[in-house]
Structure 1
């Protein structure tokens, strides 16, 4: 079975080399560069990757373009701030050699700086498992800017349990808050475009329910003060997106 590794990036020259170095087990590496102005293209070429350059407004659109560019029987999606551990690489090769299913979840280890945070990831702000390994043709992203939905063809297989994607989520707390601002801005644009931004009461309830899920259900309390921070950001994402769409609609209109 031929395996394609797909990386979608924008101005990731600092993180791209380590990401690509972890993908040596793949038969093909495809790098999609979206409006990139740094040295990412040269880095990808030096690593032997095939490159697709362009400009895509929607995350789902550029990810689908990358999938279409892959030629493998199976595709493993990896972001530039992620690295595939050796154990996961071995598990992926073993899975595609025998799997009768269309797609599999892959475990994720999330880091903020040098700290591994195992608990509290929930909703659109982070996760400990992602559906990244799939047969070509089984997965399509929907046309949204941030965390687009997925449409699947075929049956989900067992989750891979060996190894992990090493996800360097944020460099520090300031970086985490910048990500919250960036994600909520993109989501506000989707809300304004949809014509249905929701209600203040509904999004206040979502703030509470998502923060509770992060801190209690996903055991963020095990991370101490880091769990509180993660719960706040998880809950704030939909509320802040709504407030941007309601209070500043002109700034978030096409």
Structure 2
């Protein structure tokens, strides 16, 4: 890790039982980060010990949802620039050079930078169905914030956003079981968030959204060029869309039942 009195670039990470993938990111961070901040939500494995062994400042805080947890990490960082990554993400060599270049420059026109994320699936990176996937992850301290959502949180920046060269490698899914387990979890959270924002269920959502999601990934994004992986990704995206609106229906029924019960 680069050492300086005043950090130029801080790496902010949230963790929960990430001992398998976290070391890869922390080792890579040596080439571009002056400071590492880890907000851990109760890991029972070696995550905290690994983070501290790599010089990270660890803040242990109960889970409050993705958006709030990442905002806490962002606010704890002291660097002029803050890079917000998940433990299963790591910059490739070219992106690491881009990050170091930004950290070393005194001036700039941008308040934040996006990077192209490349996700691995079934043993290879998906270069079409999930690509390009520009994600905003680097922000000048004090000029960005995470949205307060339990899932599908986004980093909002006050000012112009540039793009960095290189790839953000994303090794998220262990296998199909892991992927589909997350689909169920995140679809439910997404439905709850949609309901809280005033969205309501309509049967046509179950008819239209899933095939539209499939066609976008498989045809418009040319997922067919990814072979079987592209077909799997497109299919999972369609299933996720179906589950989101099915859960929205369930959430509405639960809310009506609670309201009926409370009115008695």
The answer to whether TM tops 0.5 is yes
Does residue 153 of structure 1 match 2:153? no
Does residue 23 of structure 1 match 2:32? no
| Mean Cα deviation higher: 55-64 or 94-103 | 94-103
Secondary structure of the structure 1 residue equivalent to 2:164: coil
Which residue is 2:3 aligned to? none
Which residue is 1:13 aligned to? 19
- TM-score, structure 2 as length reference: 0.85
Q: 1:10, 1:197 → 2: CA distance? A: 32
Does residue 179 of structure 1 match 2:185? no
Which residue is 1:2 aligned to? 8
Does residue 66 of structure 1 match 2:66? no
1:3-152 equivalences under 5 Å are: 3-25=9-31, 26-96=33-103, 97=105, 98-121=107-130, 128-152=133-157
Q: For this pair of structures, how many residues does the alignment match?
A: 246
Give the unaligned 5+ runs of structure 1.
none
Q: 1:178, 1:167 → 2: CA distance? A: 18
Q: CA deviation at 1:152?
A: 2.2
Q: 1:220 aligns with which of 216, 220, 223?
A: 223
Q: CA deviation at 1:65?
A: 0.5
Root-mean-square deviation over aligned CA pairs: 2.1
Q: 2:198, 2:135 → 1: CA distance? A: 29
> Deviations for 1:212-241, whole angstroms, at most 9, x for unmatched residues?
111112110101221111112222323202
Q: CA deviation at 1:112?
A: 1.7
Please tell me whether Structure 1 or Structure 2 has the larger radius of gyration of its CA atoms: 2
Q: CA deviation at 1:142?
A: 1.5
The answer to whether the 8 Å contact 2:206/2:246 transfers is no
Q: 2:29, 2:108 → 1: CA distance? A: 20
Give the unaligned 5+ runs of structure 2.
1-6, 259-264
- TM-score, structure 1 as length reference: 0.88
